[in-house]
Amino acid sequence: MFYVEILGMLPEMAKAEVRALSELGGGEVVGSDYLLVYGNVEDVSVLRRLGLAHEYGILLGSFDSAQDLLEYSSSLEWNKLIKGTFAVRRERMINCSHNVEGLDKKLGAIIHAQGFKVSLSRPDTVVRIYCGERLWLGVRIREFRGKEFDARKADRRPFSRPIALPPRIARAMVNLTRATRELLDPFMGTGGMLIEAGLMGLKVYGIDIREDMVEGAKINLEHYGVKDYVVKVGDATRIKEVFPGKTFEAIATDPPYGTSTTLPMDRDELYRRALESMYEVLEGYLSIAFPADFDAIDVAESIGFKVLDRFYQRVHSSLSRYFYVMKT
């Protein structure tokens, strides 16, 4: 069993990301308790790819009371779960319905009694208690620190443009495609989506209509150590001409919205033609963002896509958008 503590900014999209990765890991999401998502998986390492998450780990159990949690903890063989020093960290979620005052110290005393040394500042192993509708006990595997993603923000890249998705969201979009081998971004811009996919070990393909963007994306990909890429100048409405005879396992993309970009044609017509072009070359999932005032579902379904999910985000006063997950 695993747990994931997701971010609160796009919770439904974050849950869907966990579902997608748990499928890749041979398992499924079983349920959630506010920002804690849990399930089972054969290969928990697939969760290393997460974008919209604070951390993930091994779930040891859930409990109706603090006493039940402590009694269960007393029966565990902590030597199979803890390496080196440890610390217990307690998290009170907004829906916490239990008295957990001092619970972390009580659990720490139980573990310490089995011969483990406490290190509050730099523990080798972090034991986690989450308080929601129930109490949850786990052992952290990985924490996703904000600075990891901040280093890949648009303004930190050697070739930069102000309009770009945050790296966490770009990574989640890649994960929503369930990609295991490769990914295409036909509106790649400065390459943010490709950077995230490449860092996961996927081969990445990109298209942009502007040559300066293509050259800039190459600089960015190399800067972040992504080597397995093919990027070309081309038209996202004519992907077959850019990559003749090639089909793609997955596509993730964020088309221009037309607010501060001059589009080559009417915005809605561009979106329709691009969706048609993607449908011709895709053999799996598409993750894509559109402004909220574009009727993406009707257009996509008329082309042949099956729309599986959509997630709303208000970016600022003049822009709201939906993130979609579609399948051919």
Task: Give the Cβ contact number of residue 57 at 10 Å.
Answer: 21
Predicted local distance difference test score (pLDDT) of residue 260: 44
State whether 114 and 179 are in the same domain.
no
Alpha-carbon dihedral 287, 159, 47, 131, rounded to 10 degrees: -100
Among 99, 115, 143, give the residue marking a domain's end.
Answer: 143
Among 123, 143, 163, give the residue marking a domain's end.
Answer: 143
State whether 218 and 92 are in the same domain.
no
State whether 200 and 262 are in the same domain.
yes
Per the structure block, which two tokens stand in for 35?
């920002």
Predicted local distance difference test score (pLDDT) of residue 317: 87
**Residue 178 lies in domain:** 147-327
State whether 179 and 97 are in the same domain.
no
Predicted local distance difference test score (pLDDT) of residue 199: 98
DSSP symbol at 132: S
State whether 233 and 122 are in the same domain.
no
State whether 51 and 125 are in the same domain.
yes
Q: How many domains does the chain have?
A: 2
Q: What angle do CA 39, 45, 48 make, to 5 degrees?
A: 95
State whether 138 and 215 are in the same domain.
no
Task: Give the Cβ contact number of residue 48 at 10 Å.
Answer: 12
pTM, 2 dp: 0.96
3 state DSSP class of 69: helix
State whether 133 and 152 are in the same domain.
no
Distance CA 109, CA 117 (A): 10
> Facing residues of 320 across strands?
314
State whether 65 and 30 are in the same domain.
yes
What is the full per-residue pLDDT of the chain (328 aa) written as tens digits? 999 999 999 999 999 999 999 999 999 999 999 999 999 999 999 999 999 999 999 999 999 999 999 999 999 999 999 999 999 999 999 999 999 999 999 999 999 999 999 999 999 999 999 999 999 999 999 999 999 999 999 999 999 988 789 999 999 999 999 999 999 999 999 999 999 999 999 999 999 999 999 999 999 999 999 999 999 999 999 999 999 999 999 999 999 987 545 677 889 999 999 999 999 999 999 999 999 999 999 999 999 999 999 999 999 988 999 999 999 9
CATH number, domain with residue 104 = 3.30.2130.30
State whether 170 and 316 are in the same domain.
yes
The set of residues, in sequence order, having a beta carbon less than 8 Å from that of 148 and lying 6+ positions away, is: none
State whether 104 and 11 are in the same domain.
yes
**Residues 75/114, Cβ–Cβ less than 8 Å:** no
Distance CA 152, CA 175 (A): 17
Among 89, 124, 143, give the residue marking a domain's end.
Answer: 143
State whether 86 and 163 are in the same domain.
no
Predicted local distance difference test score (pLDDT) of residue 262: 63
Distant-in-sequence contacts of 96-100, Cβ < 8 A, 24+ apart: 96/131, 96/132, 97/131, 97/132, 97/133, 98/65, 98/66, 98/131, 98/135, 99/66, 100/66, 100/129, 100/131, 100/135
3 state DSSP class of 105: helix
Predicted local distance difference test score (pLDDT) of residue 162: 81
CATH number, domain with residue 209 = 3.40.50.150
